Structure 1
Amino acid sequence: LKNLEIFLDSSMAIVGSRGRIVVITFHSLEDRIVKQKFRAPAVAGSVLTRKVVAANQKELQRNPRSRSAKLRAWERS
């Protein structure tokens, strides 16, 4: 989990203007870290996904493992 925090901090600093970071998490602790980093970033930016993006029913039927996947996106100003 510490590596995830380090990755998010460094990638948010490196990404250029209008650059985007998209993260897929599979565990609630991972999701909490990503959510907190995106809501209170060290650099100016905005959250692109107000609510988490999750798999729909069709995807769940094709791929049951996707039930725990959550996608969040952030864009640098």
Structure 2
Amino acid sequence: MLNEYALELAQLRADQERDATISAAVANMRCSGSDDCADCGCTIPAARRAAYPAATRCVACQEQVEREVYAR
């Protein structure tokens, strides 16, 4: 009886871990940025998108936003 319970718990944990991994992968795909900067409309370089796929701003615009945020 105890072994069956332990086996069920282990299977439940494995299922939860699998579901969490799948959910994280789907969320990561949905968080991808775009090819164009949200602020200036310029094309975000491929190197930036490769380094940070969720980028929505070019480097110059992101630096400006960070300056404004950290200057407060």
* Higher normalized strand content (fraction of residues): 1
User: Which of these two proteins has the greater Rg computed from alpha carbons?
Assistant: 2
* Higher normalized helix content (fraction of residues): 2
Q: Which interval holds the TM-score relative to the shorter structure?
A: under 0.3
State the TM-score, normalizing by the size of structure 2: 0.23
State the TM-score, normalizing by the size of structure 1: 0.22
Higher normalized contact order (CA 8 Å, seq sep 6+, divided by chain length):
1
